[in-house]
Amino acid sequence: MAKIEKFEDMEIWQLARKICVNVYHIIETTELNGNYALRNQMDRSSGSIMDNIAEGFERSGNKEFRQFLSISKGSCGELRSQFYRALDRGYIDKSTFNAQIKILQLESKKISSFMHYLKKSEYKGSKFD
């Protein structure tokens, strides 16, 4: 495994960034753009995924990082739920919905795996060195 020196090196952060870009594109190109409340909520949820990964990493402690990853994973679930609302209200089509649900489920699984790895690790974090 390559050494991760900054949060931008992390695959889970890179995927979260892609999700955030996807959400912005969907907001700007669909009827979702007209529902200010839902689009704002989806924009914030997608940003929360990547932002919490970054913040947790920067805290330099294994336990704190896992807590922020847990929040990030929760934001994945929140955004999935919001995509259901967007689909049910006719703002997005089924293929857009399916593609986004698939990537969000993958991200959630990757975050869970990383949390499990950190929990088993004996390394406490650089702030404890």
DSSP 46-104: HHHHHHHHHHHHHTT-HHHHHHHHHHHHHHHHHHHHHHHHHHHTTSS-HHHHHHHHHHH
Q: Which amino acid is at 86?
A: A
Q: What dihedral do alpha carbons 96, 8, 50, 67 form, nearest 10°?
A: 140
CA 90 from chain centre, in angstroms, equals 24
pLDDT confidence of residue 2: 62
127: pLDDT strictly greater than 80: no
128: pLDDT strictly greater than 90: no
Where residue 102 sits, what CATH number does that domain have?
1.20.1440.60
Has residue 43 been placed in a domain? yes
Has residue 1 been placed in a domain? no
Has residue 2 been placed in a domain? no
Has residue 26 been placed in a domain? yes
Per the structure, the count of domains in the chain is 1
Has residue 27 been placed in a domain? yes
Has residue 74 been placed in a domain? yes
Has residue 49 been placed in a domain? yes
pTM: 0.91
H-run or E-run covering 5: none
| Average pLDDT value for the chain | 93
Has residue 129 been placed in a domain? no
CA distances from 10 to 48, 59, 81 (A): 16, 15, 25
pLDDT digit string, tens, across residues 75-96? 999 999 999 999 999 999 999 9
Q: Where in the sequence is the domain holding 114, given as residue range(s)? A: 8-122
